[in-house]
Amino acid sequence: MTAKTIALALPLAAVLVAGVATTAAAARPTPWRSAWGTSQQAPAHTDWYPNWSEAGFADHSVRQVIRVGAQGSELRVRLSNAYGTTPLRLTGASVARSAGGAAVQPQSVRPLRFDGTGAVTIPAGRELSSDALDLPVAAFEQLTVTLYFEGPTGPATFHNAAMATTYRAGGDHLGDASAEAFTEQSYSWYYLAGIDVKSGAGPVGRPGAVVAFGDSLTDGFGSTPGADRRYTDALADRLAAAGRPRPVVNAGIGGNKLLGDSECYGESGLERFRRDALARPDVRTVIVLEGTNDIVQPDLPADHCNTPSPKVTAQELIAGHRRLIREAHARGVRILGTTIPPYWDRDAAYWTERGESVRTAVNTWIRTSGAYDGVVDLDRAVADPADPRKIRQEYAAPDHLHLNDDGYKALAATIDLNSL
């Protein structure tokens, strides 16, 4: 499959201590806050985005670069073996500030510990957080996480379309500041689920996280790799510039469908919504952008990635959206719906009149039903005024299915900050 066919995260109660009023914040540890995260996928072979997930690692150091979205005086790293069938044995791990590419700032390298030890085993199907690490970080700073696996891992839980570069070296290079040993590259993340931060300032006045949940449009496919120009990055920048900083966590998976599972594109949005969006303890708002793949994949040539893909109706997609809304509201989480953008192209075999009618009906419902707590009208923001079936040229990636850097910036600009 080519890239063109790939379609598309309390008021403080007063308590009495010895007859003196104090706050709950003074009586309990400062909670962790989301600073970065990504959605996990099962190991898969994808021609359009080659990766190391099927083979896994053996005597390899894997260095991964991420941009944190919240500041803190301490951090912890969350690792996932969600799709592992055997325990994952991690020999060691380190965190450092990036110096560009696979290089890191030498004075910033810190070993990670897990219950006081450097090596750890993560059970199959589980996630594990490191001990707190005293490494102050600033919002929008780039960090690297390096994992060393002495023995074979087997197939790796991963995130395919990272839109960032991951580096690999043979042997143990946890403490290397130089990029010299890291001669291999991938464009996926492996085992890395999230970064959390906290500080002594406490939770007062700190708004919860925004989780962007969706497919490759949320993942940022079509943006400049390694430049952090997904719409989630642009939205976090807008919030900070407006003096309202808060983390924006990306829970997109390229090719993901709302209603159906895929060997390559993850569990359906319905199945993964609770884990990838609602299970984050500080989530307050979710932005949903799903449905394109449910519409277009049935009209693609069948392969192991998009089979099965039965044709869906607008009513079925709307029912799926309603289920996400019910689940979010049951958790007290605000939820915004994003209209499905156009994707017509003269060479696009996946565009059909049937699909266009489904997209139009779903978008009309998102705009007018009042079911969502707010609407992000991406369709109208990026559609070509001369032909609303397609993305206007200045916002379109070369495949005319995804957005480019300016298109993702336009998506972020469409979001009313007050709706968050």
Which tokens sit at 178?
A: 């130089």
- Residues 49, 181 share a domain: yes
Asked whether residue 162 falls in the same domain as residue 233, the answer is: no
227 and 137 share one domain: no
Q: Map tokens 């569990």 to a residue.
A: 267
Task: For residues 277 and 340, state if they share a domain.
Answer: yes
pLDDT of residue 364: 98
Domain boundary among 173, 195, 217: 195
Q: Which of 324, 317, 416, 414 is nearest to 357 (CA)?
A: 317
Q: Is residue 23 part of a domain?
A: no
Q: pLDDT digits over 193-243, tens only?
A: 999 999 755 444 567 999 999 999 999 999 999 999 999 999 999 999 999
Task: Looking at the structure, tell me whether residues 155 and 43 fall in a common domain.
Answer: yes
Question: What integer pLDDT is reported at residue 4 of this predicted model?
Answer: 38
The answer to whether the beta carbons of residues 56 and 191 sit under 8 Å apart is no
Number of domains composing the chain: 2
Whether residues 340 and 387 share a domain: the answer is yes
How far CA 311 is from CA of 257, 334, 343, 358, in Å, comes to 12, 30, 17, 10
* DSSP annotation string for 252-294: E-TT--SS--BTTTBS-HHHHHIIIIITSTTEEEEEEE--HHH
Domain that holds residue 333: 207-419
Listing DSSP states for 159-171 in one string gives ES--SS-EEEEES
Cα 79 from Cα 110, distance rounded (Å): 17
Res 3: pLDDT: 37
User: What average pLDDT does range 60-68 have in this prediction?
Assistant: 98
Task: Give the per-residue pLDDT at 49.
Answer: 83
pLDDT-based confidence at 289, cuts 50/70/90? very high
Measured torsion, CA atoms of residues 128, 132, 133, 137, in degrees rounded to the nearest 10: 100
Give yes or no for residue 16 having a pLDDT over 70.
no
61 & 143 share domain: yes
What's the whole-model pTM score?
A: 0.92
Q: What is the mean pLDDT of the chain?
A: 91
224 within domain boundaries? yes
Range of weakest confidence among 3-17, 216-230, 322-336, 371-385: 3-17
Q: Which of 120, 96, 75, 66 is nearest to 176 (CA)?
A: 96
Q: What's the rounded mean pLDDT across residues 322-350?
A: 95
Query: Are 170 and 217 found together in one domain?
Result: no
Q: Cβ(69)–Cβ(142) under 8 Å?
A: no
CA distance 178 to 93: 16
Q: Give pLDDT tens digits for 120-142.
A: 999 999 999 999 999 999 999 99
Over 60: is that where the pLDDT of 11 sits? no
| Confidence (pLDDT) at 201 | 53
Which has the closest alpha carbon to 80: 163, 3, 153? 153
400 plus 325 within the same structural domain: yes
Band of the pLDDT at 79, cuts 50, 70, 90?
very high
Mean per-residue pLDDT, 263-288: 97
Peptide bond into 308 cis (omega under 30): yes
pLDDT at 200: 58
